[in-house]
Amino acid sequence: MSDSVIEAVIDNLRKRDDKPRTFAVVTYGCQMSARDGETIARLLTACGLVKTDRAGAEFILFNTCCVRDNAERRALGNILRAVHEKRSRPEMMIAVCGCMAQESGGGAARTFPGADIVFGTHNIQRLPEYLLRALDERQPVTDIWEQAAGVEDIAEDVGGANEHGHKAFVIAMRGCDNMCSYCIVPYVRGREHSRPMDEIQRECETLLAGGVKEITLLGQNVNSYGAGMKGGATFASLLRAVASLGVPRVRFMTSHPKDLSDELIDTMAAVPAVCNHIHLPAQSGSDRILALMNRRHTHARYLERVAKLREAVQDVGITTDLIVGFPGETDEDFEDTLALVEEARFDAAYTFVYSPRTGTPAATLPDRIPEDVSRERIARLIAAQEARTASVFAGLIGSEHVVLVDEAARRGSGYVSGKVERGMSVTLPGGEDMIGRFVPVKITSAGHNTLRGTPSDDRVTASP
């Protein structure tokens, strides 16, 4: 849809007095979903609605995730509760969007009875039009697209900073062509599609001019950026281009081990603005399971990439995702995953029990793993990683780092928290005036998930 049509709809909505006045977006899932939630909020704000908390909102949007069963169940439960609440609050409107809505496709209206608007992942920009239609027609509006209508849909999706104005997500590419056998993402996010580099740069320049200090480049498989694009752009060249604008910190996620090039490792090492952190999902340590997962990397190749990263990038932090209980996973396969955790020395790992997703190849595989076996495996895996994280944290005590302060640790507590370049959270004494500032910190102790520190001196700066 062209900008002018959107503008006309927004203008029309602004003038109405029967529209909801307040809204809340409830987001589930990954960073891309969070970024979509920001787009939704921006569109509704442009329509004259005011963002508020979930309890007080007249228009509630459930921006859902379908990557695992438990994410779906949580969202469904909350949607049902909202539909129930609506019976006693007739002014309330409900929208369901994101990956669950996309996946439900033609059956969306049946899947979410009681919702006023249902739309998918490819047509977020149309939300003002759907809101207008739902108000005019007084009946539910459902629209799910199979694919984005064209590149312009991504081009329109220019973002903004977080609520404090110092961090921003920028979409480098959308979709995924990898077809990992367990994963629903390629079916709900579409084919892989990189944004032109000059467009990304323009968006970053605007953010930078607005005071943003940290940009995270997003993509399901961000390090394959440029594949299929004319001109030979690579993800490493994109990182360099963004850093060259003067962005103090650049992060990126998520990276696939099979696409982790030497050029990217060298760029991480050579460009100071690029953070020394990489999220590199391994999924399993067993070559047999990795092949069944269609991951196209092996245990040895993964460790070789990790070794190269550690050799080139000073103090690099590596985090990962791991799945247990994939169909056919034997005790031996699982031991290979435990071994990988020891060998790769992850800073942190997100661990998941395999969840069959209808329509994916793995959902039809034999030898499902009983739930009690998966539960026991994940408990052992979590314990192994916790021990690793504790030893990484212990090694950091006494060292100096620069923290970009994100928020008050707890309102009025006299503490703030933020992240070091390597990605860990640090809590330190300070007030809200420090939010968005770079603070040199000495790490003094370690808790379960966070580090604690004190400002090493009174240098609180606007750049690292």
Residue 68 vs 388, nearer CB to ligand SAH: 68
Would you call 294 helix, strand, or coil by DSSP? coil
Contact between 221 and ligand SF4 by CB under 6 A: the answer reads: yes
Near ligand SF4 in 388-427, by CB under 6 A: none
User: From the list ligand SF4, ligand SAH, none, which binds 401 (C-beta under 5 to 8 Å, kind-based)?
Assistant: none
For ligand SF4, the binding residue among 25, 71, 108, 176 (CB under 6 A) is 176
Helix residue ranges, H only, 87-211: 99-104, 108-111, 127-137, 151-155, 185-189, 197-209
Residue 256 vs 401, nearer CB to ligand SAH: 256
Contact between 185 and ligand SF4 by CB under 6 A: the answer reads: yes
* Residue of minimal Cβ distance to ligand SAH: 321
CA angle 21, 23, 24 (to 5 degrees): 165
Contact between 121 and ligand SF4 by CB under 6 A: the answer reads: no
User: From the list ligand SF4, ligand SAH, none, which binds 430 (C-beta under 5 to 8 Å, kind-based)?
Assistant: none
Contact between 104 and ligand SF4 by CB under 6 A: the answer reads: no
> Which of 120, 119, 203, 216 is closest to 155 using CA atoms?
203
Would you call 356 helix, strand, or coil by DSSP? coil
User: From the list ligand SAH, ligand SF4, none, which binds 357 (C-beta under 5 to 8 Å, kind-based)?
Assistant: ligand SAH
Length of the chain: 464
Contact between 297 and ligand SF4 by CB under 6 A: the answer reads: no
Contact between 180 and ligand SF4 by CB under 6 A: the answer reads: yes
User: From the list ligand SAH, ligand SF4, none, which binds 434 (C-beta under 5 to 8 Å, kind-based)?
Assistant: none
CB of 195 to ligand SAH, least distance (A): 17
Residue 294 vs 456, nearer CB to ligand SF4: 294
Distance CA 36, CA 157 (A): 9
Near ligand SF4 in 426-445, by CB under 6 A: none
Residue 60 vs 183, nearer CB to ligand SF4: 183
Helix residue ranges, H only, 210-357: 235-243, 262-270, 287-292, 299-312, 331-344
Q: Which amino acid is at 24?
A: A
Residue 220 vs 286, nearer CB to ligand SAH: 220
Distance CA 305, CA 287 (A): 16
User: From the list ligand SF4, ligand SAH, none, which binds 323 (C-beta under 5 to 8 Å, kind-based)?
Assistant: ligand SAH
Is the CB of residue 352 less than 8 Å from the CB of residue 379? Answer: no
CB of 294 to ligand SF4, least distance (A): 8
Distance CA 41, CA 35 (A): 10
> Which of 423, 393, 428, 422 is closest to 409 using CA atoms?
428
For ligand SF4, the binding residue among 183, 318, 404, 446 (CB under 6 A) is 183
Is the CB of residue 440 less than 8 Å from the CB of residue 451? Answer: no
Distance CA 8, CA 60 (A): 23
Which spans of this chain sit near ligand SAH (rule: CB under 6 A)?
30, 67-68, 182-183, 185, 220-221, 254, 256, 281, 283, 321, 323, 352, 354-355, 357
Residue 355 vs 427, nearer CB to ligand SF4: 355
Q: Residue 457: which residues within 8 A CB-CB, separation 6 or more? A: 440
Contact between 144 and ligand SF4 by CB under 6 A: the answer reads: no
Residue 322 vs 416, nearer CB to ligand SAH: 322
CB of 66 to ligand SF4, least distance (A): 12
> Which of 153, 279, 264, 265 is closest to 216 using CA atoms?
279
Contact between 220 and ligand SF4 by CB under 6 A: the answer reads: yes
DSSP letters spanning 81-113 = HHHHHHTT-TT-EEEEEEHHHHHHGGGHHHHST
Strands 50-51 and 348-353: unpaired
Contact between 267 and ligand SF4 by CB under 6 A: the answer reads: no
Which chain residues interact with ligand SF4 by CB under 6 A? 176, 178-180, 183, 185-186, 220-221, 256
